[in-house]
Each structure stands twice: as structure tokens, then as C-alpha cells.
Amino acid sequence: MRKGMLVDLTRCIGCRACQVACKQWNDLPAEETQNWGSYQNPAALSADTWTLVEFTEVDEGDGLQWVFAKRQCMHCLHPACASACPVGAFHQTEQGAVVYDPARCIGCRYCMVVCPFGVPKLEWEEPLPFVRKCRFCVDRLEAGLEPACAKACPTDAIVFGNRDDLIAEAEERIRNQPGRYVDHVYGKDELGGTSWLYLSAVPFDKLGFPTLGPEPVTTLSEVVATYGTPSIAVTVAAVLGGLYYWFSRREKNMHAEQDAEQEEREAS
């Protein structure tokens, strides 16, 4: 059964307990940060910070709104990172977690470049770094527990459950309180769906969520890889073989003609 998480940004109080719980459960070190004029701390996701509450000030005409948005890996249903990785270091578990096998990684960073959410991060300061990102607390999931961030959330802004149930829940919340939310469950359709779903009072593009279509980015690439590659190989090989056969036969015929002429001349 596909699991999911529903993040209701209207319930978030910006306490960052999820950020701390994530660090604790995953044994991630603290980062030395500087005041950059925002409560958002650290400024961006990194190899040591797998989830981050972003603080955004949005002016929707009726005064300034301060919106807190927890960001992390979206655990796409069609993950670009897994499709991109040459050595299969990313794979999706049955429950929908997209997880990383450090033993396979060669550090090409293609996953980082292709991710539409810019999620995978590298341990830049290490001589032989790994790529790191949220892994949906896959160890807790396997033990029948909810992810650490959901467990820590005091306002139930983060809810864990079956993805289908969470979509129904999200749509019901919009139905019940249409004034409270924009009519958009982010992650339901984006790129063919993500395990993480969001509800918000302000449009998602104002919060830095990328505007994405319903088509998975992996479709075109995988179709070309599955059908394009062998057809190119076969076509090129066939054309080459044909040309080679044709040219060498033409040459042979030319030689044969010359020989025949020679013989004729000798005979006469």
C-alpha cells in the first residue's frame, strides 16, 4: 500500500519540531548558521538538513501573511532521480519511499541535476562524499511507525497515512472550508503524483513550489531509452552494413569488368 504524508500549511505554527525530530532520528549533525534576516534556519536543505521549514511572507492583498512550509523530498511516484541514476542507487520501496543505496553511488550528481524539486544534496566537505536526502524514515515505516516529523508535529499539520486516504482527507478539508484553502492539493497530480501532499491558503508558486504538469518527467526519457536506443543501434548497424556491402560489391564488379576488358584485349 502506498503511504503518504499530508502537510496542511494552514495548521503549521513554524515551531520546527519536525526539523529537530528529523535530525535526531537520522543522527544528523547541527549546522553552523548565520542570521540572514529570517527565522528560516538553516537557509536551505543540505546533506545534513533533510527537512526545513521555510518562512515566506506573502501579500495576497488582505495584508501580509507569514506562511510556514515544511520542505523535504517529495517521494515522487515516478522519481526522476531513480530513473536517472546509472547504477541504480535510488529505488522506490513498495510503500513509496525513494531511498538511496550508498554502496552503489559513483557521485555523478545526475540525480541532483534532474530532480525537479532540487532535493538530493551532496556532502561537499567530504573527500569521498555521499548524496543525502529525506528517506521517508523508511526504517520506522518498516517497523509500523510513522515518520519522525509527523510524530513530532504538535498541531497535526503533518499527517501520515495511506496516500489515497490522505487525498480524500485533503479534498474533504477543501470542501468543508473553501475559504481557508486554495483549491489545489499539491502533489496529487504533479509529475504523475508525489507521496507528499500539501494544502495551502496561498497559491503554491508564491511559496517557491515549482509549477509542474501532470506528466511524469521520466516518461519521455524512459520511452526513448527503451525503444530509441535499440532502434538507433539496429538502424545504424543495418545502414552501415548495407552501404559497406553495396560499395564493396560495386568495387568487385568494377574489378571484374576491368578484368573482363583486359581478357578481351588479350584475346583479340
Partner 1 sequence: MSKTRKLQAAIVVILGIVTLVGGIAAIARFVQGLGPTTNLSDAYPWGLWIVYDVFFIPFSAGAFMISAVTHIYDRHEYYPIARPVIVAGFLGYVFVVVVLLMDLARWHRFYNILIPWYWNLHSFMFEVSMCITVYTVILVLEVAPAILERLNWQKPLRLIRFATVVIAGAGIVLSSLHQSSLGSLFLLMPYKLHPLWWTPLLPLFFFAAAAFSGLSMAIFVAVVSFKAFGRDLKLGLLSDLAKIVAIMLGIYLAIKIGDLLTAGEMGLLFTEGWLSVLFLAEIVIGAVVPFVLFLTRKGRETSSGLVWGSACVLVGLALNRTNVALLALNAPPGATYFPHWIEIAVSIAAVAAGVLLFFLATRFLPVLPEPAVARDEATT
Give 8's Cβ-side CA count (13 Å radius).
20
Nearer to partner 1, 1 or 44 (CB): 44
Nearer to partner 1, 229 or 258 (CB): 229
Question: Which residues sit at the interface with partner 1, rule CB under 8 A?
Answer: 44-46, 80, 82-88, 104-110, 112-114, 116, 118, 121-122, 124-130, 210, 212, 217-218, 220-222, 224-226, 228-229, 232-233, 236-237, 240-241, 243-244, 247-248, 251
Nearest distance in Å: CB 29, partner 1: 15
Nearest distance in Å: CB 86, partner 1: 4
Nearest distance in Å: CB 238, partner 1: 10
Nearer to partner 1, 79 or 166 (CB): 79
Nearest distance in Å: CB 165, partner 1: 29
Nearest distance in Å: CB 203, partner 1: 18
Nearer to partner 1, 100 or 160 (CB): 100
Nearer to partner 1, 6 or 114 (CB): 114
Nearer to partner 1, 142 or 222 (CB): 222
Nearest distance in Å: CB 266, partner 1: 27
